[in-house]
A and B are shown apart, each in its own frame.
Chain A
Amino acid sequence: MNNPSVQHLAEGRNAWKLGVVGFFIRLKGIFITAAITLLTMGLPWWLPESYTLKGTMEINYSSVMFGFLIFISGLFTLSFFYLRRRSIRSLDTKYYLHQLSHDIRDKQTDLHEKLSQKEKYSIGKLHKDLEILLNEVSENIASHFKLLINDPTICVAIRLARYEKKDKKIYYRTYARSKGLNPQRKRNSEDISSSKGIPRFLMEDNEGQGVLIYNNLKEAQKNGTYYFTKNDVKFPDDIKTMMVAPLNAWSGKRESMIGLLYITSRESGVFKPIHVDSMAFSADLTAAAVANSLEIVKEKIKNNSAGGNYAKVI
């Protein structure tokens, strides 16, 4: 069965039931397979009912045992190699998960430290600090997904909401990209409007837990589920498939969609429903990191103007 060009999915806990593998590990599948095996056990009609061996046959016992042991030990060795690979991969994915939360915590601690020092903090410094935070987050998420999916072409991009004074509208602009995407993308980067395409769709998804999985970008463009940007046209090999999740967090007075998280691949058929929860987790953590960093700065400004101990900020 062909996958649709785009899927809007939420909650991947039951994704193990999907597809051919899902059939064989569901109880229904296990019972059907067992029943078919039992029913067809006596069916190979081409086999004769009995064999009669004439003459004598000498079997070298030690050779048979040697072959058997080589076969069994070979299987064990291969399974140990498989287990070794799985264990290293599993621990590495956890390492990058920790690295992700660790870097966010460190960056926020740094912000607290900088704002409580006597030196004046500035918008330019906040720009640099947020840039570093976003780049670290995107690199860690990319490393985590590269190991999780076993695809070295995975990349991450983060868009944040910005206000355009000219037309008084909100757009989403890319502020961070992990390494691997064409470096020229920054030059041609295009803001996307909040009133159509992915932002409008995810904003109106009131529960805000859905993740979009694009299996075929060209097909999605044809059926109106994706709008190409200049970079999509200029670098068609950069992104073949991708997942997009909303960054929902505190925007000052309420929870809003403050940005978008993209996880992309140069390969097709990479992203599956089993990755939905990992994607949602990464998006929520990123959203909280950005929103909380800005709230820290705002709170310190408030405290400062109220005569608190904090140094003069922004």
Chain B
Amino acid sequence: MPRLFKMFFLEPNDIGMQKHSEKEVASLMTQKSLDRDESLKEFAILISTVFDEPASLTSISSGLDKSRR
């Protein structure tokens, strides 16, 4: 019955849309030390520096209350 069902009603795997199955996703989510990405580290340091500093007032110009340019 499932085979007959699959003949007519396609799933993401049948059209090449699915990249990894549930099992593969689970195996790729376990703890693993990844290769060092110095560029990402630099970015992450910048983000920590900026967001750890208390926010100070700036001229708030939100697009939501601005007229179209």
Residue ranges of A at the interface with B (Cβ–Cβ < 8 Å): 1, 4-12, 14-15, 17-20, 22-23, 29, 99, 102-103, 106-107, 109-110, 114, 122-132, 136, 139, 160-165, 170, 173, 175, 193-198, 200-201, 203-205, 210, 212, 223-227, 251-254, 256-258, 273, 276, 291, 294
Taking a contact as CB atoms under 8 Å apart, the answer to whether B64 and A18 are in contact is no
CB neighbours of B9 from chain A (8 A): 1, 18-20, 22-23
Q: A162-B51, A200-B29 are in contact. Are A19 and B19 (CB under 8 A)?
A: no
Residue ranges of B at the interface with A (Cβ–Cβ < 8 Å): 2, 5, 8-12, 15-22, 24-26, 28-34, 37-51, 53-64, 66, 68-69
A/B interface sample: 25 pairs, CB < 8 A:
A11-B17, A12-B17, A15-B12, A22-B10, A23-B9, A99-B64, A103-B63, A106-B63, A109-B69, A125-B56, A126-B50, A127-B53, A128-B55, A130-B51, A139-B64, A162-B48, A162-B51, A195-B31, A196-B29, A200-B34, A204-B28, A212-B25, A226-B29, A227-B29, A257-B40
Taking a contact as CB atoms under 8 Å apart, the answer to whether B29 and A131 are in contact is no
Taking a contact as CB atoms under 8 Å apart, the answer to whether B40 and A198 are in contact is no
Taking a contact as CB atoms under 8 Å apart, the answer to whether B45 and A163 are in contact is yes
Taking a contact as CB atoms under 8 Å apart, the answer to whether A162 and B47 are in contact is yes
Taking a contact as CB atoms under 8 Å apart, the answer to whether B17 and A251 are in contact is no
Taking a contact as CB atoms under 8 Å apart, the answer to whether A203 and B34 are in contact is yes
Q: Cα distance A276–B62 when bound, in Å?
A: 29
Q: A10-B19, A19-B10 are in contact. Are A200 and B32 (CB under 8 A)?
A: yes
Q: Cα distance A17–B56 when bound, in Å?
A: 51
CB neighbours of A18 from chain B (8 A): 9-12, 15
Q: Cα distance A204–B48 when bound, in Å?
A: 23
CB neighbours of A226 from chain B (8 A): 29
CB neighbours of B47 from chain A (8 A): 160-163
Taking a contact as CB atoms under 8 Å apart, the answer to whether B17 and A9 are in contact is yes
Taking a contact as CB atoms under 8 Å apart, the answer to whether B26 and A225 are in contact is yes
Name the residue of chain A whose CB is nearest to the CB of B38: A253
Q: Cα distance A162–B40 when bound, in Å?
A: 9
Min CB gap B34→A, angstroms: 6
Q: Cα distance A210–B18 when bound, in Å?
A: 9
Taking a contact as CB atoms under 8 Å apart, the answer to whether A170 and B44 are in contact is yes
Name the residue of chain A whose CB is nearest to the CB of B68: A102
Name the residue of chain A whose CB is nearest to the CB of B2: A1
